[in-house]
Structure 1
Amino acid sequence: MGGLIEGVWERIVKNEGEVFKQKRGKEFSYSVKMNTLYLRTTNRIISKKTFEKALDEVPLENTVPLQNLQAPSYLYAILMDNRIRKDDY
């Protein structure tokens, strides 16, 4: 899935500032600087490398496969959003 990250990351950057929803409905947005995503509703950051690791688990039914990664509920919300996943997974 190494090549997948570039297209997914491009869409993540393109959707910067948009509203996303966690599985339980909490809304959030983010900003991106270089290879780091900064969550606006919390003090957390997620690296592009973390997204790349998470892509090994897609498609996802829940956050369980991501529990060993930073901010699993946010990873899930972003990666499973149709604006990000498109038809890739």
Structure 2
Amino acid sequence: MFAIVGYVNTLIEIYTYMLIAYVLLSWLPSAKESFIGEILGKLCEPYLSIFRRFIPPIAGVIDISPIVALIALRFVGQGIAAVLLFFIK
């Protein structure tokens, strides 16, 4: 049963790295249209769009929604792990 918590933590960590890669690719316009950029866009953009609806860019340029999304992802991952560990014991 502890393996399930490990799998959940691993999936959260993989998605975190995918979000970071997607944000870094957004700095390079040509990289976002690449094959990997399109796949990451399809996987990350639905999650990021939730936060972009509520958090406007600072000065119209700096988008801090990915930072808030990463923090929220960490909290949700820790919450899921805590709930799973509660039911295991």
TM-score of the two chains, using structure 1 as the length reference: 0.32
- Which has the larger share of helix? 2
- Which has the larger share of strand? 1
Larger Rg: 2
